[in-house]
Amino acid sequence: MTECSVTGSFPKNSLLSADRDVPDDPESAEAFAYYSDGAALVTGKGSYIGDIKLPRMLDASFVRSPIARGVIKRINAEAAAASVGVVRIGTGPQLVQAVPKALPHASMVLHASEHAPEQFNLPAYHLLPIDSVHYEGEAVAVVVADNRYRAEDAAELVDVEYEELRPVLDPETSLSPDCEQLFEDVVGNLALEGRFGSTEDAGSLFEEAALVLRRRYRMNRSGNPPLETVGVIAQYENRRLTVWSTIQRPQILRIALADILGLPESRVRVIAPQNIGGGFGWKSPMYRETAVIAWLATQLDRPVRWIEDRTEALKKGVHARDQIWEMVAAFDSDARILGLKSEVIADVGSVLVDMYGLLPSRLSATVPFPYDIPWIRTHLRCAITNKAPMGVNRPAGRMPAVWAIERLMDDAARELGVSPAQIRRINFVKEFPYNSPLGGTLTDSNYVATMDKLLSVFRYEERQQEAERLRTAGRKVGVGLAACVELCRPLCSFGGALFYNQPQYASVSLRMYPDGSVSIMSGDAPQGQMRHTTMAKVTAEELGADLEFIEVYTGDTLLSPITNSNTDVTSVCAIAARRLRSKVIAAASHLMGVDANESNFVCARGVVTHLPDGRKMSFREVAWTTIMRPFLLPDGSTPDLAETAYFEAAYAPTSFGAHAAMVEVDPDVGRIRILSYGFVGDCGKQLNPRGLHAAVTAGITTGISNTTHEAYIYDAQGQLITSNLKDYAMLTATEMPQEIIINHNDTPTAATIYGHKRMASEGVPAGVPPAIANAIIDAFSGSVDLTVVPFFPGDLWATTRDASQTPVAKR
Amino acid sequence: MVNDNQSQLVIVNFRVNGIDRQVSVEPRYALADVLRDELLLTGLHLGCEQGVCGTCMVLINGEPAVSCLTLAVEADGSDIQTIEHLSGGTSMPGKLEQSFIKHGAFQCGFCTPGFLVMGHHLLDKGLAKDRDTVRDNLSGNVCRCTGYEAIIDAIVAVAVGEDLK
């Protein structure tokens, strides 16, 4: 295998320039799935939040606003309080007595905004609103009863009187000078304004260009809510608060809850269950309901549980996408892009649950495109509206930006008379590292080769010819391309200030027991990335331990060192395991009475072998002696067979994905069929090929779902009309492409232990909408235009009908 | 506190995973809640409680049903099988379960019990020989992590007798 040099910020020592093999045998990778990633999940023994039962546990249900904007005049909870089984009712005016601090000023957000270069104006809010509501579905009161049925019954009896106000639902209206201000503390409804890109003037660049293209692209609200909703259980005993939560960032939640409730952090423990039913970023914010449930537990002397239902999940948010991109692009006659000006308006909804409410928009505006654009400026404005708050949903943030640039590239290609493949090849970044004027740096990749591999495995040219032949025969078949960069954020704190209180390092503790078995304790909370398996496998390989004797504990803040969400657990386990291996070898060499030179030892399957004489000693013998009989070791030895390691990559690796779609449209009804979908990615190095394949397929699925199925649609009164899974339609097996081709063109990064980047799968959905839209436009030979996504059969039917009535192609 | 009609209980008898059970439930209780909360069969999950996502699927008299929209009282006298029984348990997972692991047919595992229940049903009825039939029959189950293809592969593999080692 290829071993990369390591330039991470951890201490350099001889072990890190590893000369041993790392787990790269796909066959052995196939064979193993850790218990809680494998056997448990196929036998109904997974351990999710809804499966936890505590004695005397109560259930909570939230009363939610039926209107998008209004003043709370009165809350009458008398009937609810008298309802069977009700133990407690909480309202905003009551809670504010106990928790007077306003959020986000009580949580970590303020610190971030103090240190960020741009102005963050997050509206302050309380755990439950005191006097006004800002979106339909906002929690206004909470009812606690002895079971969920009774809690929900009583919640319906809470009578809230509102004075209804006209909601502001359009982000451009919200930012217009004559619009009412929706929050007292957010002037002009502007939650964030940022100017990114080239500092020097554009000069005459746009005047002298061969083509200046002005386009407006829009990506409306959709997202990637997982199948398991949010859940919380809180227990307060002996002045200690324990909170089980579906949170992706248990350590960060612990810090926030301690801050909000005024408890020392040492008394707050957060546990993310061993199994979380999908996260996709949607489970990273600290929803205000979580803090309400934690507060209730401190008051009630009984554990309190809240498992939200699907309609709550859809109405409460967080939602994603929802941006408008007005672009002016300059190209020379060789189809080279010279300059790009983008005015971006992001609708971030209301009551932003934490800093992650603004992160997606900022990422969208600043993650570099894969193209070398010499002069680029992006002006971002985030508008508050009376909709559910915005948040991170796979792929975090940049999906609308990718939609805009990839549609723009195709539109420019058509104007300039070059092919979609050509215009991309001409403009791709070719020299790495590439410092984008937007701030990010693109590293360790080869976009041209990756796209070329896609064109080859997808048989792009053949398919183009076939599509043309079918079009001649009257069918509407087309082929489209797209490309996107994935910034591997969780490996590195890029953009320092924004992550001021969001450390991006990975951490892990390993502990070897007297019998030689090892527990891995990670503060990461895997949500279905097979990360338990990865941690067990990497640790076993690097340590030379037997997989059967490794147990993985995740998501418990008491067991694990501080970390964030979805970090590079692979690298950090490798580092910790290598250090622990050194300790085992040091003890074994003493017990064998031989020189401690590590190169003389091999550790495999829980046995240390001294190569020069073939002597063997089991981990059990070494560990038992070290921990139980340390007097047999040299003076000054401690019974220490534990390791805690931290890892932060020296820079944020970037990965890349090239997309291709072949699509047929039935113009009579506007239905599309994806005949084939192709993806070639660069993930640095594949560590778990089978898991990666499923995750990439899922990314394509999410992308398609966000193109033609999933959408949060509000009516004119601000009511979410897609509030169940029939209306908020997630793609099912029957709507999948008829063929999916997945391949890889990996360039390892020097920033991680094995050269792996972020599992490239996270960014996959971003490239899908433009690939499909570009294919549809090709199916109509450029006579239709698609600038708004998601689009549904009705939209497509109307668009294509209009096109068929226009003799000349639009634009 | 008033003991109103909400707490009128009804006795329900059914056979669950081969064992005769009797529970007393409110008439409004969903079968899913009774199986999970009373009988501690937490293998089935609640993804939507709107009958769409399929993760609460069980077999009732051999036919797949969404237990979130089935009242417990409706199931009186019926024979119910859940994933705990169909899978053979952690000590002896069956062929379909092994196939799911081999094909990487799940990631977070939340939807998996529903797909497995449906998979067992399709295999029993001889409807799992080809991908298209399997695909059509999975339209009532949602998965967010795999993109379905591996699930279809895993079910078909058992039907065609693929070596699962």
As a whole-number percent, the residues of chain B with pLDDT over 90 amount to 90
Beta-carbon pairs below 8 A across chains A and B = 192
Residue A353's nearest CA partner among A297, A290, A310 is A290
Question: What is the length of chain B?
Answer: 165
Chain A window 19-38: which residues touch B at a Cβ cutoff of 8 Å? 30, 33, 35, 37-38
Report the share of chain B in percent with pLDDT over 70: 95
Q: Would you tell me how many other CB atoms lie within 10 Å of the CB of residue A472?
A: 8
Distance from C-alpha of A213 to C-alpha of A300, rounded to nearest angstrom = 62
What is the band of A102 on the pLDDT scale with cuts at 50, 70, 90? confident
The reported pLDDT for the residue numbered A3 is 32
Q: List the structure tokens of B31.
A: 């079968």
Confidence of residue A123 (pLDDT cuts 50, 70, 90): confident
Q: The CATH number of A50-165+230-307 is which of 3.40.800.10, 3.40.47.10, 3.90.1170.50, 3.90.870.10?
A: 3.90.1170.50
Q: Does A30 score more than 70 pLDDT?
A: no
A374 closest CA partner among A420, A327, A340? A340
Taking a C-beta distance cutoff of 8 angstroms, is the pair A285, A537 a contact? no
Q: Which residues contact B123 (CB under 8 A, 6 or more apart)?
A: B96, B155, B158, B159
- With contacts defined as CB-CB under 8 Å, which chain B residues touch A690? 103-104
Q: If you average pLDDT over residues A275-288, what whole number do you get?
A: 92
pLDDT of residue A527 exceeding 70, the answer is: yes
Q: Is the pLDDT of residue A28 over 50?
A: no
The pLDDT, as a whole number, for residue A112 is: 47
B-contacting residues in A 280-309 (Cβ below 8 Å): 280, 307, 309
The single-letter code of the amino acid at B121 is: H
User: Could you identify the residue written with the tokens 């939640």?
Assistant: A253
Q: B28-55 pLDDT, tens per residue?
A: 999 999 999 999 999 999 999 999 999 9
Task: Among B108, B112, B146, pick the best mutation site for testing chain A contact (most A Cβ within 10 A).
Answer: B108
Chain A residues with CB under 8 Å of B50 CB are: 310-311, 724-726
A331: β partners = A211, A337
Cβ contact B25:B92 at 8 Å: no
pLDDT digits (tens, 9 = 90+) for A727-754: 999 999 999 999 999 999 999 999 999 9
Residue A734: other Cβ atoms inside 10 A: 13
| A31-45, A467-481, A712-726, range with the lowest pLDDT | A31-45
DSSP A103: B
User: Could you report the per-residue pLDDT of A310-327, keeping only the tens digit for each?
Assistant: 999 999 989 999 999 999
- Residue position matching structure tokens 């081999």: B102
Average pLDDT for A164-177 = 98
Distance in angstroms (rounded) separating the CA atoms of residues A314 and B47 = 12
Pairing of strands A58-64, A304-307: parallel
> What confidence score (pLDDT) does residue A494 get?
45
Element containing residue A145 per DSSP (H, E):
strand A139-145
Name the maximum alpha-carbon separation found in chain B.
62
Higher-pLDDT residue of B81 and A392 is B81
- Best of A28, A36, A42 to disrupt the B interface (most B CBs within 10 Å) is A42
Dist. CA A177–CA A156, nearest whole Å: 39
Q: Using CB atoms, pick whichever of A48, A690, A691 lies closest to residue B45.
A: A48
Which band of pLDDT confidence, cut at 50, 70 and 90, is reported for residue A360?
confident
Give contacts of A 520-559 with B, CB under 8 A: 527-530
Collect all residues with Cβ–Cβ distance below 8 Å to A662 and sequence separation of at least 6.
A463, A467, A477, A478, A479, A674, A675, A676, A677, A775
Element (H, E) at A578: helix A569-592
DSSP-derived secondary structure for A739-783: -EEEEE-----TTSSSS--S-GGGGGGGGHHHHHHHHHHHHTTT-
Angle at A248 between CA A242 and CA A250, to 5 degrees: 30
Nearest to A691 among B29, B41, B104 (CB): B104
Using H for helix, E for strand and C for coil, what is the string for chain B?
CCCCHHHCCEEEEEEECCEEEEEEECCCCEHHHHHHHHCCCCCCCCCCCCCCCCCCEEEECCEEEECCCCEHHHHCCCEEECHHHHCCCCCCCCHHHHHHHHCCCCCCCCCHHHHHHHHHHHHHCCCCCCHHHHHHHCCCCCCCCCCCHHHHHHHHHHHCCCCCC
Residue A665 CA, distance from chain mean position: 32
Cβ distance A41 to B88 less than 8 Å, yes or no, reads: no
**Which DSSP state fits A76?**
E
pLDDT of residue A760: 52
Mean pLDDT of A643-652: 90
Contact A508, A572 (CB under 8 A): yes
Separation of alpha carbons B51 and B61, rounded Å: 19
CB–CB contact B145 A740 (8 Å):
no
Q: A598: buried, middle or exposed (CB in 10 Å: 19+, 13-18, 0-12)?
A: middle
Mean pLDDT calculated for residue range A86-110? 81
Check whether A149 has a pLDDT greater than 60: yes
Q: What mean pLDDT do residues A179-183 have?
A: 96
- Rg (Cα) of chain B, in Å, rounded? 17
Q: Using CB atoms, which residue from A40, A310, A736 is nearest to B147? A: A736
CATH architecture of residue range(s) A399-493+651-805:
2-Layer Sandwich (3.30)
**Separation CA B159–CA B165 (nearest Å):** 15
Confidence of residue A566 (pLDDT cuts 50, 70, 90): confident
Q: Residue A567 has what pLDDT?
A: 85
CA-to-CA distance for A763 and B146, rounded, in angstroms? Answer: 15
What does the pLDDT read at residue A122?
Answer: 79
Q: Could you state, in order of their start, the residue ranges of all structural domains in chain A? A: 14-31+505-647, 50-165+230-307, 399-493+651-805
Q: Is A277 on the interface with B (CB under 8 A)?
A: yes
Nearest-5° Cα angle at A351, A108 to A388: 125
Separation CA A663–CA A337 (nearest Å): 28
Residue of A3 and A67 predicted with greater confidence = A67
Asked if A57 reaches chain B (Cβ–Cβ under 8 Å), the answer is: no
Task: Find, in chain B, the residue whose alpha carbon is nearest to that of A147.
Answer: B37
CB A223 within 8 A of CB A278: no
Best B46, B81, B83, B107 residue to mutate vs chain A (most A CBs within 10 Å): B107
Query: B86-109, pLDDT tens digit by residue?
Result: 999 888 899 999 999 999 999 999
Residue A574 CA to residue A754 CA, distance in Å, equals: 9
Chain B residues with CB under 8 Å of A82 CB are 1-2
Nearest CB to B139 within list A39, A530, A733: A733
Chain B: give the shortest CA distance to residue A699, in Å.
8
**Contact partners, residue B19, CB within 8 Å, separation at least 6:** none
Percent of chain A with pLDDT over 90: 77
Task: Measure in Å the smallest separation between the Cα of A759 and chain B Cα atoms.
Answer: 14
The mean pLDDT of A680-692, rounded to a whole number, is 88
Superfamily in which the B5-86 domain is placed by CATH: Beta-grasp domain (3.10.20.30)
- In this structure, are residues A430 and A353 in contact, taking their beta carbons and an 8 Å threshold? no
B103 to chain A: closest CA residue: A690
Across the range A175-187, mean pLDDT stands at 95
A499 touches A249 (CB < 8 A):
no
Q: Sheet holding A518-522: strands in order across? A: A550-554, A518-522, A506-512, A642-647
Select the residue of A39, A528, A732 nearest B108 (Cβ to Cβ). Answer: A528
pLDDT at A808 over 50: no
**Alpha carbon of A171 to those of A121, A190, A323, A367, A377: distances in Å?**
16, 10, 9, 22, 21
> What residues of A are in contact with residue B53 (Cβ under 8 Å)?
227, 725, 730
Q: Is A807 exposed, middle or buried (0-12, 13-18, 19+ CB in 10 A)?
A: exposed
A271 backbone dihedrals φ, ψ, rounded to 5°: -125, 115
Segment 306-325 of chain A within 8 Å of chain B by CB: 307, 309-311
Question: CA-to-CA distance for A318 and A294, rounded, in angstroms?
Answer: 20
CB atoms closer than 10 angstroms to residue B124 = 12
Residue A630 has pLDDT above 90, yes or no: yes
Whole-number Å distance between alpha carbons of A689 and A695: 10
Q: Which of A27, A43, A709, A734 to mutate to test the interface with B (most CBs of B within 10 A)?
A: A43
How many other C-beta atoms are found inside a 10 Å radius of the C-beta of residue B75? Answer: 24
Find out if CATH 1.10.150.120 is the number for domain B95-159.
yes
Rounded to an integer, the average pLDDT of A560-569 is 89
pLDDT at A498: 54
Q: Which residue of B has its CA nearest to A694?
A: B146
According to the model, what pLDDT value does residue A4 have? 33
Contact between A228 and B90 using a beta-carbon 8 Å cutoff: no
A619-628 helix and A569-592 helix, angle to the nearest 10 degrees: 80
Taking residues A367-374, report their average pLDDT.
Answer: 94
Token pair, residue A391, equals: 């948040």
Which CATH topology does A14-31+505-647 take?
Aldehyde Oxidoreductase; domain 4 (3.30.365)
Q: How far, in Å, CA of B135 to CA of B138, rounded?
A: 5
Average pLDDT across chain A, whole number = 90
Q: Which of A227, A246, A674, A706 is the mutation pick for testing B, counting most B CBs within 10 A?
A: A227
Domain ranges of chain B: 5-86, 95-159
User: pLDDT-based confidence at A688, cuts 50/70/90?
Assistant: confident
- Find, in chain B, the residue whose alpha carbon is nearest to that of A38: B101
On chain A, the residues whose CB falls within 8 A of the CB of B103 are 690
> What does the alpha-carbon distance between residue A335 and residue A419 come to, in Å, rounded to a whole number?
10
Task: Say which residue, A14 or A109, is predicted with more confidence.
Answer: A109
Q: Kindly state the tokens that stand for A264.
A: 């020392």
| Beta pairing, strands A518-522 & A550-554 | parallel
